[in-house]
Structure 1
Amino acid sequence: MVTEITQRMANLRTMALRTACAVPFAFAAQQAAARPPAAASKMVEYRAQAGDTLYDVAARYLQGSDDWQLLQQINSVPAPKYLQRGVVLKLPVVRLRKEKLTARVIAVQGTAERASGDAFTALANDATLAEGDRVRTGPNGFVTIKLADGTHMSLPPDSQLDLKSLRRTVLTGTLDREFELTRGSVTSEVTHLKKRDDRFQIRSPSVVAGVRGTYFRVNYDAAGNALTRVEVLDGTVGVAGHRQAAAPTLVHANFGSVSTSSGAVGAPVELLAAPALAYPDKVQDESDVAFDVAPLAQAHGYHVQLAHDAGLLDLFRETRTDAPRAVFSDVPNGNYFVRLAAIDENGLEGVARTYVFERRVMGLDASASPGAGGYEFRWSPSGSGKDAHYRFVLSRSKDLSAPVVDQVGLQACKITIVHLPPGDYYWAVTVEELEGGKFYEKTSPVSAFTLSR
């Protein structure tokens, strides 16, 4: 009888062992069938820490605690309560757990919106964006977002960027970021990727651009002939068509590439050099802000952008012009930055150059009329402080040479000149001001009048 009971218990233990072994083997077979052999066999190592169990390791670094059975099968280890410290376990890459990351909006100007579902709502500065969100800008909108690793991505007007993937592998720290540009353009300054398997990709409907620590732009012409332009300013970008089986075309710094709607990637083309500003020290004191660009050979146009910061993350105005001159209206007083780039025959934007400029409106409306005892001149300044002084010049010549009157240090906004003989006269007023250790002056247009008697 004892022998019979002993045999039954042994049989039960054998069946239980077979069942326990069958579960991970069946699970492993199911997972292997669902992925390519190379991916299924790729492993990373983990060194067990004090207090670790297979359950803990699976819960922290794999898809869930149930994956302990897969760990047990792969590593051929028992399932004790605690693993021996220092034991090296192999973990399948395809089962590694990934945590979702977020991005933060660090600058917004004009019309900008975000959508987490179907409806778009206004986008505010310091807003948090997540995987699956979409960001779009209106005709006057600018947005810059910052990723967790310090990467910056800036959208100019009439652009849309979808955040397809924002993830980090918990065990290895590998980053996986994928974006889709459905219209417009995006400029990316990518923090150098630390892991070999880190991924940063921007897709358009026809191509994908993958990088490893670089500064580049992608433009998708959704409204035109569906061309995708990639311009690399630093580092290297691999550009490949979605249906392209060959290796990506490598585009290095200061080169660009144009891809067709079918995904055919054009050969790299050297970008145009950075243009120069004709009058870089000019104080922008007119009613409009205007920049004259030194014409650049082979340039078919120019792209001019204004920003609050030197890195041009906080953009607020831009224009594209065929002529080497750009004009902006309604720019408040302040210190700003302007970035210039030339555009070639392929529509590729070249290397940019940035200048700082000062915006300080200083205007003078002047008038002259006969008054009691002489001729009275008046002027009304705008943009000047309370400590401004004025210089009045009256001459018989249009160039104001050999002045009849040259009065400096005036504080009042008028002057009366008496005993003028008949003849033609020309005059102007200059406002002079010292503020913050800097000297400013602005001269009104030259006015003329004739004194008949």
Structure 2
Amino acid sequence: MLALASPEGHFEHRIRQGDTLERLATEYYGDYKLWPELQQYNQVVDPRRLRPGAVLRIPVRLLSLQTAEVSFVEGQASVATKPGAEHTELKPGQKLTEGAEIKVAPDSFVTVKLADGSLIRIQANSDVRLKQLRRTGRAGSLQSVLEMHKGAVNATVGTEPDPSRKFEVRTPRATTSVRGTTFDVSLTEGGDALSTVTHGKVSVQGGSDRKNVARLTEGQGIAVSGEGQLGQTRNLLSPPDLSRIPETMEDSNFLSFQIEPVQQASAYQVQVARDESMNEVLRSGTFPSGQVRLKIVDDGSYYVVARAMDAQQLPGMPAKRKLRVKTQPPPPLYQQPAPGGTTSRTSGMLKCTPVSGVQKYRIQVADSAAGFDAPLLLDLNDSEDCSAQLASLPVGSYQWRAASIRQLSNGSPDQGPFSQPQAFKLANDPSAPDLSAMDSAEDLPGLHLRWPGEAGQIYRLQVSATEDFATLLADETLDTPVWNASGIRPGNYYVRIRTHDNSTGLDSPFSTARQVRAAAEIQSGFGLPLTSSDGEPLTRK
């Protein structure tokens, strides 16, 4: 049987009936000719007489060397092929040998695959060394040892328990050993080593004392202090509820969602990966509350895993959910009306800005109270200029949103996410003043006009000598329905007026033009202006 590797670089074999040094050299080294190495290392006097039950030490240095392979890299990571060597960029598909040192930068992630299929997921901001990559015999079990100086790893070791396999993760004050399981090991900033098990079993040794060992089963964790003192075995926190995460994320800036709180949780650890096995992690983070915000990823399908962390920073049992990201093509920007503004029921339009590479737009209008889950009041999916008429809707309060539609290479339409809904109001235009009721005091010099009006209305008055208003003699905004122009030249003029409603911000069309007459200050008995020799109207001075 195999035991934990000792500091001298060997593991132990308990001699069984029938064992010989030649047979053991073949079993462990794949070469019977190496039996003298076993004899010398163990100072065996008579190699033909091995006592059953005695312990034989098997030097690790004679086991056959193995390699590992980098299966995934996200972000920045480097490797030194041996201690002291220069670090170079780590790339997917790269072969790694014993002694390789891997450094993973913040916001990065690396997965390494061992020869037996075991997976080592090296988390962000980690420093890990492949201290031992060996195999017993020609096709025996792997004997693997990792040294972790900083950060965290998650490992899945083998698919079936194998008592002859060795897999250890060593930190400065703790060693976690497994035969077949899924587990995590991390180092806190204070130097504590944290070990948790989500599947199978592990042994955790504190310091160098091989008797100072705790055995963890699925759903358990333990902390080892920087002095090598084993803490108490703890049950991991329950997996968090991910039901509030939407099935599709449409924010083009961030992955933002809410995790339901877990009792006794001090923080939440979240990862987003391409694959369900979480071997290709693209985003990760730790958050003090259930509010998660990560950098956006490309459109596609992903998996999110979340774990609640207890007061000792032990990550709890994981919860997993599938997630779809759809942010392209981007939605158009709103152009009019302004947010919360009012537009005309008869002449107003919803307008948005064009998006490059987009052929059509989908515009929806909903009742502001019911929202877009209720039957829509307007659903236009073939707008080519990103606009919609509103004449079919009654006066009221609404919300609208818009999405871009592009054409894929196969000719099929591809709709992007909707913009965030924006509120607006629909109102009737105010009525233009009825100038048939306008009072023009023609017995006074100049023009003196009054017309019917309402409180809260503002008026724009224009005066021209011609009915087409090509040249304006006056263009004024008035707070009251009154206008006086005593100094205007006597004669006939055209007047038109438009109403502005302060409560809605809408303008009426201009009224039908009305002809008015400006009286002279000095008139003849027939009511005509008297003029001087140069043709100018006479005035009293």
Q: CA deviation at 1:212?
A: 1.4
- 2:339 is aligned with 1:285: no
In 1, the alpha carbon distance for the partners of 2:291 and 2:413 equals: 31
Q: What is the aligned partner in structure 1 of residue 215 from structure 2?
A: 250
How far did 1:374 drift? 2.4
Could you tell me which of 100, 122, 130 is aligned with 2:89?
A: 122
Q: 1:62 to 1:113 in 2, by over 3 A?
A: farther
Change (3 A) 1:260 1:384: farther
Aligned to 1:445: 421
> Aligned-pair RMSD on alpha carbons?
4.2
Shift of 1:177: 0.9
Could you say what secondary structure the match of 2:93 adopts?
A: coil
The answer to whether structure 1 residue 377 and structure 2 residue 344 are counterparts is no
CA distance in 1, matches of 2:28, 2:286: 55
Q: Following the alignment from structure 1 to structure 2, what is the Cα–Cα distance between the partners of residues 430 and 215? A: 46
Pick aligned residue for 2:335 from 344, 350, 367: 367
Q: Is the 8 A contact 1:286 1:363 kept in 2?
A: no
Q: 1:161 to 1:68 in 2, by over 3 A?
A: closer
Q: Contact conserved, 1:43 with 1:93, CA < 8 A, in 2?
A: no
Deviations 1:97-124 (A, max 9, x none): 4110010010100011111132111100
The aligned runs of 1:34-73 (5 Å cut-off) are: 45=19, 61-62=31-32, 64=34
Shift in Å, 1:432: 8.6
Partner residue in 2 for 1:94: 58
Q: Cα distance, 1:377 vs. partner?
A: 2.2
* 8 Å CA contact 1:190, 1:214 repeated in 2: yes
> Is the contact made by 1:40 and 1:94 (CA closer than 8 Å) also made in structure 2?
no
Query: Partner residue of 1:415?
Result: 388
- 1:389 maps onto 2:362 in alignment: yes
| 1:159 matched residue in structure 2 | 126
The Cα of 1:195 is off from its aligned counterpart by 4.9
**Do structure 1's residue 348 and structure 2's residue 330 form an aligned pair?**
no
Q: 286, 299, 302: which is aligned to 2:265?
A: 299
- Contact between 1:160 and 1:183, CA under 8 Å: does it hold in 2? yes
Distance 1:204 1:383 in 2: 53
2:98 aligned with 1:131: yes
User: What amino acid maps onto 1:353 in structure 2?
Assistant: A
Deviation at 1:151, TM superposition (A): 0.4
Deviation of the 1:199 alpha carbon: 1.5
SS in 2 for 1:257: strand
- Which of 270, 276, 295 aligns to 2:235? It is 270
Shift of 1:430: 4.3
Q: 1:56 to 1:105 in 2, by over 3 A?
A: closer
% identical equivalent positions: 22
- Contact 2:20–2:48 at 8 Å: present in 1 too? no
Letter aligned with residue 270 of structure 1: N
Q: Specify whether residues 430 and 132 from structure 1 end up closer, same or farther in structure 2 by C-alpha distance, changes over 3 A only.
A: same
Unaligned runs of 5+ in 1: 1-33, 50-54, 77-91
Give 1:169's aligned residue: 136
| Cα distance in 2 for residues equivalent to 1:120 and 1:35 | 26
Q: Which stretch has the larger CA shift, 55-64 or 103-112?
A: 55-64
1:406 to 371, 378, 381: 378
Name the amino acid aligned to 2:90.
L
The alignment status of 1:338 with 2:304, answered yes or no, reads: yes
Structure 1 residues 108, 63: CA separation in 2 closer, same or farther (over 3 Å shift)?
A: farther
Aligned length: 394
2:165 to 185, 188, 198: 198
| Alignment match, 1:113 | 78
Question: For residues 169 and 284 of structure 2, what CA distance do their matches in structure 1 show?
Answer: 23
Structure number with larger C-alpha Rg: 2
Partners of 2:222 and 2:149 lie apart in 1 by 18
Q: Which amino acid is 1:265 matched to?
A: L
Q: Please identify, of 134-143 and 325-334, the stretch whose mean Cα deviation from structure 2 is larger.
A: 325-334
- Looking at structure 2, the residues matched to 406 and 69 of structure 1 have their Cα atoms a distance apart, in angstroms, of 89
1:229 to 194, 197, 203: 194
1:315-362 per-residue CA deviation (whole Å, 9 max, x = no partner) reads 011111111111123322111111111011111000001111111115
CA contact (8 A) 2:256 2:293 kept: yes
In structure 1, what is the Cα distance between the partners aligned to 2:243 and 2:122? 28
Question: Secondary structure of the residue that 1:363 maps to in structure 2?
Answer: coil
Letter in 2 for 1:133: A
- Aligned-partner residue type, residue 335 of structure 2: S
Q: Which residue of 1 aligns with 2:471?
A: none
CA–CA separation in structure 2 for the residues paired with 1:428 and 1:123: 49
Q: Secondary structure at the match of 2:364?
A: strand
1:429 matched to 2:483? The reply is: no
Question: How far is 1:62 from its partner?
Answer: 4.9
1-side partners of 2:127 and 2:9: how far apart?
A: 33
Q: Helix, strand or coil for the counterpart of 1:350?
A: coil
Question: What amino acid is the match of 1:202?
Answer: V
- SS for the counterpart of 2:317 is strand
- Residue pair 1:144, 1:313 contacting (<8 A) in 2 also: yes
User: Separation in 1 of the partners of 2:376 and 2:199?
Assistant: 61
Pick aligned residue for 2:295 from 319, 322, 329? 329
Q: Structure 1 40/427 Cα, relative in aligned 2: closer, same or farther at 3 Å?
A: closer
Instruction: Looking at secondary structure, tell me which structure has more helix per residue.
Output: 1
Question: Partner of 1:212 in structure 2?
Answer: 179
Deviation at 1:403, TM superposition (A): 11
1:61 Cα deviation after fit: 1.6
Q: Which amino acid aligns with 1:166?
A: L
C-alpha deviation, 1:244, in angstroms: 2.2
TM-score, with normalisation over the residues of structure 1? 0.74
Q: Give the equivalent residue in structure 2 for 1:260.
A: 225
Tell me the equivalent position of 2:495: none
Label 1:414 to 1:253 Cα distance change in 2 as closer, same or farther (>3 A). Answer: same
Correspondence for 2:513: none
Q: Which amino acid letter does the alignment assign opposite residue 350 of structure 2?
A: F
- Asked whether the 8 Å contact 2:28–2:63 carries over to 1, the reply is no
Which residue in 1 is equivalent to 2:483? none
